[in-house]
Structure 1
């Protein structure tokens, strides 16, 4: 593959290149979806991006990424989001891959990074546990060293599309006597390892989006620890930063807004001044959020740290997404409460699917109540009482 300096391309040329490729290669079934698309559906499209070398826009070129600067990164996401392109199971790209580039051993980078780019390994995240969601440091899944293997016992929950994953990265307690954050390690495992059981959870919208994952005497090679033993909290905080930046993206609100616009056009709502007022308010709020998100992405791209103030991204993104879907459900009228796509003129849209899919956003990755507490204490320095 010929190496291209995308950062040297004129911005509009870069955008046209992406836009034309999406229009030509991305099927309509993978665009403007009000649900999480499963791996078997999106694999052919993801492999096309992999072949083009466009799967990892933020990765350095030396590790197989596009090496985009902040301007091109914003353009990349603008084009994909505006086109409503569904998000593949991409934790390997946006989370564990970035973490290994920063903290992984040379052997881990050499083995895992090419497999992630080739879509040979699909990753899921083992963080939350029953009773250890927002208070992640209270996790109880334990790993005991036995010769050349860690023996893992415990349970993870709300693991997104674990049934599609080949690998899992997870936090485990390796020193039960240490303080909560100090006895945790970061471990990698194959999902087909004996003793791992996956049980899907059906959501209100009828999707099996999340899973429980059980570990019963699972033996994992000792070298699958990332970083040092009992220092996994450093990795955890870094990954939470990546996750909150990803979840804080305006992507979902933009995709839903695109469907809202199409729905409104088919129903002739742009002649209704009340609707137009609500529509313009949402558009302005999305544009504001895009600008805020861009500043945080810029800081991360240039090696800066993502402080507690970035909790605002998660709050605004999730609540903005819900507002868009609420208006969509309202204007859909009598067709709104039907689960599954409905025909609105020439458009096929699933307003209730969008609405259901937006609901968990204010809970996962640290509930919005937790995020507001973080802002109050760590940023505004407000008293606890």
Structure 2
């Protein structure tokens, strides 16, 4: 797996970034108004080879891949470059493919910046007058006219009622409404091959526009974050307030997802087979997502500036207006969601662009595939119909026999060292294994918590604890529960009241713990206790591993509407040896931090999201709506497509977290992004898909209806356990955007 750009791509990005930072400064963007075109910038981009980037070498171009162009467009978006850059990139390529000989002079002029060539999005036969990006400054417009692809002389195209090609518009860009049907035209292609290439060009444009919107969004949020660190209110930076920091955390997560979604789409197109509905849908979905994200990002960013954001002295308003302009030139972005629905569920087939080399890799590797296949075979053989009937996403799905067999096969904790029953499996292999657990819908809860406790035992435990406890964990004979939360403290672990006091050579524990899931079947609980009340509350904590069969422990069930059992546990005079302590006395924060790092390490609910959408699709095929299957309804297709977009985005955010961890990149909140985004979208889509398939989805009957019913209830808790979304938003704001601690007093 590799999300690094190639050396050539990094050099290209750096060169364009330096050039655009200087030549498309905000003062230059303002100076280009009201026409929205900077001739000097345009010429400079041409001199750097921007407009020959996608042109084949045979026609004098650089013949770079679409990913190269997307990386360039991120910088175009960041700097609000004045001119129809994305349109010209696809127009020059199209001109070279269809008119390399007949239009050689025009192609040369377009690549060298002497002429501007753009494209029209809609068939002239259907829309003789239409809005054209760059139409106010274009020399020629490439358009479809029925069965032909034509080159329209923009100078001869009648304009709208305004009578001026440079009429004022929202963001002062060179769009124009042109009557293309009445203009002078020449034919570039009159056969099917031309129509195919034009269709490919439109798909390519969607991805380039999405990349530009991603770059624009990121810069807008960075401007807002910088301002939130500087501006003070009530004696502290406004970035300390969650009303400011949390929406920005959401937006930077959305932006990161959108960027890598574009990259994934290009990668998937490179590997796609003809008629690949998912790759085709991803083009529409990535364009829709980045348009939606840009709209939210610039709105929230301007809000951070308050009244100053409304003034023309601050640059943020330029991003606000341009985001809408670039996102809406094709029309309502919601139409892209409808388009994706038709491609996924309506059988619509489209032509995908020739993207060239992608230079990125999402493959987890051969070892990951082999281990995944081994675990898949294990579950296929082991999970009898009776066991499958017992399966549940929570601790309630635990089966001791399967657990022991996994240990014997060394598939229980594959990432552990060999001497501790593992295989030293790398993170990519562990990711592949997690997909197999999700495929078979077998509960991983007991394995996850037990692995966490076992890892902490290996790191902080005494020799006696390793002998007594860790050996049983390795053999699959013991599982563990977590004892962090308390009845009145919730996520505030520093408010812990359960006490551990010295008792001879050992300790006595008194108190209670809430949400000790699995304590009714576990052998041990990882216990956070207070051992010192005379120091700062975060310094007086100590961690223990407590045997749940010790005298003085009472486990009472707490049932959730998610059809799972958790517990409240009481401890009265529970005695344990000092050897069951993890770490030093009063140094539990250090031990706990290691555990929370594992808990916040980037897990996501992608598998649940995909299974939920698949169940919804199945149910939509069964439900009749106005005499036809619901899956044929455009509204249903659109909503299913939105949920699929969220799944794709979760995958990319999670993959980026995994990759950055392996590469040991700076921790910019990638793990919290994955958990927060996936749980929030899981909950959002679970509600929407329950609505879509109602009233059938109200049933708990076996099959897709019951699964959607359970998904809705399950999703509610995912935004809470493992750290609430609010906690993760604070972590993202601090790490990804450099905002001050939102919990500061």
TM-score bucket (shorter structure): 0.7 to 0.9
Q: Distance in 1 between matches of 2:714 and 2:646?
A: 20
Q: CA deviation at 1:172?
A: 0.4
1:74 to 2:434 alignment: no
Asked which structure has the greater CA Rg, the reply is: 2
The 10-residue stretch of structure 1 (127-136 or 323-332) with the greater mean CA deviation from structure 2: 323-332
Cα pair distance change 1:348/1:336, threshold 3 Å? closer
Structure 1: how far apart are the matches of 2:448 and 2:368?
Answer: 28
2:717 aligns to what?
A: 360
Q: Could you say if the C-alpha distance between residues 326 and 31 of structure 1 is closer, same or farther in structure 2, counting changes exceeding 3 Å?
A: farther
Matches of 1:231 and 1:95, distance apart in 2:
18
Match of 1:86 in 2: 443
Structure 1 stretches of 4+ with a deviation exceeding 6 A read 302-305
SS of 1:162's equivalent in the other structure is: coil
Partner of 1:226: 582
2:554–2:571 contact (8 Å) kept in structure 1:
yes
Contact residue 148 and residue 221 of structure 1 kept, 8 A: yes
> Residue 675 of structure 2 corresponds to which residue in structure 1?
314
Q: What is the CA distance between 1:298 and its match in structure 2? A: 4.4
How is 1:275-294 mapped onto 2 (pairs within 5 angstroms)? Answer: 275-294=636-655
Partner residue of 2:396?
A: 38
1:209 to 529, 553, 565: 565
Shift of 1:9: 5.3
Name the SS of the counterpart of 1:363 in structure 2: coil
Cα-to-partner distance string for 1:201-244 (whole Å, 9 max, x where unaligned): 12224x35211111111111111101111111111111112112
Residue 109 (1) aligns with residue 470 (2): no
Counterpart in 2 of 1:21? 378
Q: What residue number does 1:325 align with? A: 686
Aligned residue number for residue 238 of structure 1: 594
Q: Judge conservation of contact 1:148–1:222 (CA < 8 Å) in 2.
A: yes
Instruction: Name the count of aligned residue pairs.
Output: 373
CA offset digits 1:105-149 (Å, max 9, x no partner): 333334323311322212110000122222111111111111112
Shifted more, 304-313 versus 187-196: the winner is 304-313
User: Per the alignment, do residues 34 and 157 of structure 1 end up closer, same or farther by CA in structure 2, a change over 3 Å counting?
Assistant: same
Aligned residue number for residue 256 of structure 1: 612
- Stretches of structure 2 lacking an aligned partner (at least 5 in a row): 1-363, 624-628
**Range that drifts further, 67-76 or 179-188:** 67-76
1:193 CA drift (Å)? 1.0
Tell me by how many angstroms 1:369 deviates.
Answer: 2.0
Whether 1:153 aligns to 2:510 is yes
Q: TM-score, normalised by structure 2?
A: 0.46
User: Which deviates the most, 246-255 or 185-194?
Assistant: 246-255
Q: Is contact 1:83–1:255 with CA below 8 Å preserved after alignment?
A: no
Contact 1:81/1:254, CA 8 A, preserved across alignment: no
**Which of 271, 274, 285 is equivalent to 2:635?**
274
1:328-360, Cα deviation, whole Å (9 max, x unpaired): 42244223223x3x155xx67333222112212
2:679–2:719: 8 Å Cα contact kept in structure 1? yes
In the superposition, relative to structure 1, how do residues 52 and 353 fare at CA in structure 2: closer, same or farther (>3 Å)? same
Q: CA deviation at 1:293?
A: 2.1
CA contact (8 A) 2:450 2:479 kept: no
Asked if structure 2 preserves the Cα contact closer than 8 Å seen for 1:94 and 1:242, the reply is no
Partners of 1:327 and 1:213 in 2: CA distance: 36
Distance (Å, rounded) in 2 between the aligned partners of 1:13 and 1:240: 30
Is 1:174 equivalent to 2:514 in the alignment? no
Counterpart for residue 187 of structure 2: none
Distance 1:8 1:92, change over 3 A: same
Give, in whole Å, the separation in 1 of the partners of 2:647 and 2:368. 22
Residues 302 and 32 of structure 1, relative CA distance in 2, 3 Å threshold: farther
Distance 1:280 1:348 in 2: 19
**1:154-181 CA-partner distances (Å, limit 9, x unpaired):** 1110111221111101110111111121
The 8 Å contact of residues 143 and 174 in structure 1, kept in 2 or not, is answered as yes
Aligned equivalents of 2:466 and 2:602: distance in 1?
A: 22
**1:3 corresponding residue in structure 2:** none
Residue in 2 aligned with 1:375? 732
Higher relative contact order (CA 8 A, sep 6+): 1
